[in-house]
Structure 1
Amino acid sequence: MYLGVDEAGKGPVLGPMVAAAVLADPAHLPADVDDSKRLSSDRREAIDAGLAALDTVAIGVAFVEPDEIDRPDTDMNTLTVRAQARATRTALSGAVAADCDEPIRVVADAGDTSEERFARRLREFVDGDGGAGDGGTDDDGAGDGGADRTDAIPEAGAALPSVDVTAAHGADADDPVVGAASVVAKVSRDERMAAIDAEYTEYADLGSGYPSDPTTRSFLREYVADTGDVPDCARRSWATCDDLLAAAEQSALDEF
């Protein structure tokens, strides 16, 4: 048994980034678990539901909302390691981890050009406060199998197993437990995006939330044209938002 951790949604202009941690014996995972990008949406959802139903698996999920992403005093590397630490701490607080006498092996998909630096920072965040009290938002998480993933992140100083962390690029494709974490992160983000989409019923579709998605760009253009600002679900520090707001301002000046 060891823990895999990954994130989804680093690049979108809409919605949160989501990190997920899965603590499991690889033998208990579905045989076809893989990097979420290699699986169909239906298969990801089936794997996610299957993992949640297992009492031999602990899951933690952490959301990094747009207002945290937009903070000027942080960066995506720090946000990624902080989110992975929050998810890891939530999974470690589960009943499965409570019985572990040895350090828990943690394998992370590296969110930094330096795998060693990312592993060191992740261990420091997990051993410290996991990002709590550092401007982080409240996070959704699940303990052991079948939980609702709405448990609070463990308090700073909470008794958790010690960890031995390694990080590697492409771990979500090479390691089954990290692959499982990537599936949980992707499904959790997709669910949140569906909920966000439901808040904007007057618009056709938000799309995937990525800047390259024509549907997403169309939604943002229409919203800015209607309101003069980007929606709350947008990462306003992204260049996409800057460009759309600048274009809307220039259009207004031209009309004037």
Structure 2
Amino acid sequence: MEFGVDEAGKGPVLGSMFAAAVQAPREALPDGIDDSKRLSDTRREELADRLRGDDRISVGIAEITPERIDAGNMNDLTVAAHAEALAEVAEDGDAGLCDAGDVDADRFASRVADRLDAEVSLGAEHRADESDELVGAASILAKSTRERHVATLAERFGDVGSGYPSDPTTRTFLREYVAETGALPDCARRSWSTCEDVLAAAEQSALDEF
């Protein structure tokens, strides 16, 4: 059987990164599969629901939590995410692609394969989510899972925005949370410079008030 693997959520300052692996016959994939970044939110979720609901399609999901992110490095963790998702569906003799998470695509594929128990033929390509339907399907599911995760954070904390450092809503949430509690929320990637900046600004503000 063939498979594809991709991840979502490398860059946010809030929440987990997720990888998805999709193992399926290509004819089982719904029409319209594409890189999740090129789909509307509504279309992405429609396709994600169809992928999840088709018994011919096997899906593996891996979550890399903020705690793991703060304790590791993103190169190693991206490899781990792909391998952990793929391990849920891969069987001996399978073949497929990862969306390369390294400037050296062959090295990335080799590192992922080394973590698997199953004997598979594994390649990696840059922008494979645009060129390969199975990787595109994995991209959709990884992004959908990440967005559901952000929605659960919003249920806990209120509006947290997208979770990306460039999002003013996310930055405002972090500033206000630290101002109110004196600490970062447990969903924050504490090693990110955004968090360090927020803590430093709060400390300076406290000194100024003193």
Say whether residues 1:180 and 2:152 are aligned partners.
no
Q: Which amino acid aligns with 1:245?
A: L
Match of 1:83 in 2: 81
Secondary structure of the corresponding residue to residue 46 of structure 2 = helix
Match of 2:207 in 1: 253
Secondary structure of the corresponding residue to residue 164 of structure 2 = coil
Paired residue for 1:171, among 109, 119, 128? 128
Which residues of structure 1 form unaligned runs of 5+? 128-160
Say whether residues 1:222 and 2:176 are aligned partners.
yes
- Alignment map for 1:1-256 (pairs within 5 Å): 1-71=1-71, 74-92=72-90, 97=91, 103-127=93-117, 161-201=118-158, 205-256=159-210
Which residues of structure 2 form unaligned runs of 5+? none
Secondary structure of the corresponding residue to residue 70 of structure 1 = helix
TM-score (norm: length of structure 1): 0.80
Q: Which amino acid aligns with 2:77?
A: L
Query: Counterparts of 2:30 and 2:15 in 1: how far apart (Å)?
Result: 29
Q: Which amino acid aligns with 1:89?
A: A
Secondary structure of the corresponding residue to residue 108 of structure 1 = strand
Question: How far did residue 106 of structure 1 move?
Answer: 2.3
Q: Which amino acid aligns with 2:124?
A: A
Query: Counterparts of 1:163 and 1:120 in 2: how far apart (Å)?
Result: 11
Query: Counterparts of 2:20 and 2:73 in 1: how far apart (Å)?
Result: 19
Q: Which amino acid aligns with 2:204?
A: Q
Higher percent of residues as helix: 2
Q: Which amino acid aligns with 2:141?
A: V
The CA RMSD over aligned residues, in Å, is: 1.0
Query: Counterparts of 2:199 and 2:182 in 1: how far apart (Å)?
Result: 7
Query: Counterparts of 2:112 and 2:166 in 1: how far apart (Å)?
Result: 30
Question: How far did residue 228 of structure 1 move?
Answer: 1.2
Displacement over 4 Å in runs of 4+: none
Secondary structure of the corresponding residue to residue 84 of structure 2 = helix
Aligned residues: 210
Query: Counterparts of 1:196 and 1:218 in 2: how far apart (Å)?
Result: 15
Q: Which amino acid aligns with 2:114?
A: E
Match of 1:139 in 2: none
Q: Which amino acid aligns with 2:87?
A: R
TM-score (norm: length of structure 2): 0.97
Secondary structure of the corresponding residue to residue 209 of structure 1 = coil
Query: Counterparts of 1:7 and 1:89 in 2: how far apart (Å)?
Result: 14
Quote the sequence identity (%): 54
